[in-house]
Amino acid sequence: MELLRCTGTESAVGPLFLAASERGLVALEFDARLAGQQSIRPNPRDLREGNREENNGVRFEQDSGLMRPYVRELEEYFAGKRREFSFPLDLRGTNFQLACWRALLAIPYGETRSYAAMARAVGKPKAFRAVGMANNRNPIAIVVPCHRVIASDGTLCGYGGGLEVKRKLLELEGALTKRLAA
C-alpha cells in the first residue's frame, strides 16, 4: 500500500488539492473539475482528522506540515514571486503522456505554445489531438503548465480548471499581453 500525503489550499484560482509521494508531487488538482475529468483525490469526507482513505492501493493521509513546501511555492507563484517550481515531481503516466508532460515543463513562464507545436516537440507532428488528451490527463496542474498550450489560432481552449482559470494563469504570467503584442 502506497502512502500519499495530501492537503488542500486556497489560491487565486480557487481551492486546490495536492498529494505527494516520497519521490515528489503526484497531483495538483482544481477543486472544480470538468465532468469526466480524472482525479486521484479521495472523497473529502474520508479525510477528516484521523480517517484515512484507501483507493486503488493508495492510502491518503492529511499532512499540511509535510506539504508546506509545495504550498509555499504555489503561494509565491500566485504572488508573482516565482516563475519556476523547485520541488520534485513524481509523474505517472504512459510513455507518450510523460513525453508530453516533459515538453510542457520546457515551456518558459510567460510563453505559450500551440497543440501542433507540442506535437512536433514530442516527435509526433500529426498527434495534436493526442497531445490535447495527454494535457487533459495531466495530474499536476499549474506546475506542469498545460495552461500554456493554446489553439493554433491563438484562442484559449481545453483546460481542466476551466477557461477562466486558464486565462487568469496566463494573465498572471503575462502571456496574454505578450501574445496580443506580437
Q: Which residues are catalytic?
A: 146
Helix %, strand %, coil % for the chain, to 5?
35, 20, 45
Give the span between the Cα atoms of 20 and 117, in whole angstroms.
30
For residue 158, give the nearest of 127, 131, 122 by alpha carbon: 131
Which residue stretches of 18-162 are H helix? 64-78, 95-105, 115-121, 128-136
> Do 13 and 161 contact (CB within 8 A), yes or no?
yes
State the Cα torsion 19-98-1-31 to the nearest 10°.
30
Nearest to 141 by CA among 172, 173, 166: 166
